[in-house]
Amino acid sequence: MLFLWLYMFYSCAGSCAGLAARGSPAPPRAAPPLSPLLPGEPGEESSLEEQRAAPDAASPISSFFNGSGTKRLPQAIIIGVKKGGTRALLEFLRVHPDVRAVGAEPHFFDRNYERGLAWYRDLMPRTLEGQITMEKTPSYFVTKEAPARISSMSKGTKLIVVVRDPVTRAISDYTQTLSKKPDIPTFESLTFKNRTTGLIDTSWSAIQIGIYAKHLENWLLYFPIGQILFVSGERLISDPAGELGRVQDFLGLKRIITDKHFYFNKTKGFPCLKKAEGSSKPHCLGKTKGRTHPDIDQEVVQRLRDFYRPFNMKFYQMTGQDFGWD
């Protein structure tokens, strides 16, 4: 620090004297406004003009005081699915020193797209060379416009989808809503358009999200299947290190996150971290995770399994993975 200040003092000695002799310099011209859509792909170096215009642009001195690194658009995004295990995956990944991720869900490609990529990039954490910038917003997977928008940002973006038995996922989704709105109708009544005929109400989001094959078709119009990694929500609980190994390989990262990072919390019923990012203490997901599900009529559960079965089979074929939901 002392060396830095001495350097600044002696560097300034001549130039500052010259400025004093010539008078105060003219005020700098305002930087041109940043376009809503930045050219280039995530991780690419921007031009000098873009750096000057971007809100994240920082001089070496300001970088020294504010923390080194550059804010970049994400190279990888966890795009889904809701109640599949996305929060657990993100928290586990953040243990890796080469992963930097936004904690909150930006909802850029579904709710905030009109704000522009400059706004989006400003939400990102600073990264050093070789580190990966990530975010997760589970609703992207079921948002029709999201694939084209992400492809427009970068065709090379790596996508991660955490999937779970769609019946269990729907019940978990309902349980979350029930905790906030205790007076909502029963799961059974929301499941059917007509219970007598057994017609499932696919307009209900809790049901609709689990038709994975339908949503994946939309993504495959813009991204090759090899650019999407499908993580099993069930295996993320039973074998977190194994699933994290696959994720690290997919992201091109060294396998640093292993069995030694996890312990199983019997009370919560899922694995927790022995040490969280930036902490020496054990860390489990909060009380909003692992809620006890209400008892659901087993006839309704079976009808849902019958409903999802053909969609699951198609999803297995599309991904080349059997998730064992039947």
84 is in an annotated binding site: yes
C-alpha to C-alpha distance for 166 and 304, rounded to whole angstroms: 9
* Adjacent-strand bridge partners of 163: 232
Strand order, beta sheet including 99-101: 99-101, 132-136, 76-80, 158-163, 228-232
Residue pair 72/46 in contact by the 8 Å Cβ criterion: no
* Adjacent-strand bridge partners of 158: 76
Retrieve residue 283's tokens.
Answer: 């860390």
290 is in an annotated binding site: yes
DSSP label at residue 202: T
| Annotation marks residue 144 as catalytic | no
269 is in an annotated binding site: no
Residue pair 246/231 in contact by the 8 Å Cβ criterion: yes
320 is in an annotated binding site: no
Q: How many CA atoms lie within 13 A of 253 on its CB side?
A: 25
292 is in an annotated binding site: yes
85 is in an annotated binding site: yes
Out of 83, 144, 266, 275, pick the active-site residue: 83
Retrieve residue 183's tokens.
Answer: 């007076």
- Torsion, Cα of 195, 200, 203, 207 (10° steps): 120
| The pairing of beta strand 132-136 with beta strand 76-80 | parallel
The total number of residues shown for the chain amounts to 326
* Adjacent-strand bridge partners of 133: 100
* Adjacent-strand bridge partners of 154: none
C-alpha to C-alpha distance for 58 and 55, rounded to whole angstroms: 8
Q: Helix, strand, or coil here: 163?
A: strand
164 is in an annotated binding site: yes
DSSP label at residue 168: H
Other beta carbons within 10 angstroms of residue 235's beta carbon come to 15
107 is in an annotated binding site: no
Residue pair 82/168 in contact by the 8 Å Cβ criterion: no
Query: Which parts are annotated binding residues for 3'-phosphoadenylyl sulfate?
Result: 83-87, 164, 172, 289-293
Catalytic residues: 83
Query: Which parts are annotated binding residues?
Result: 83-87, 164, 172, 289-293
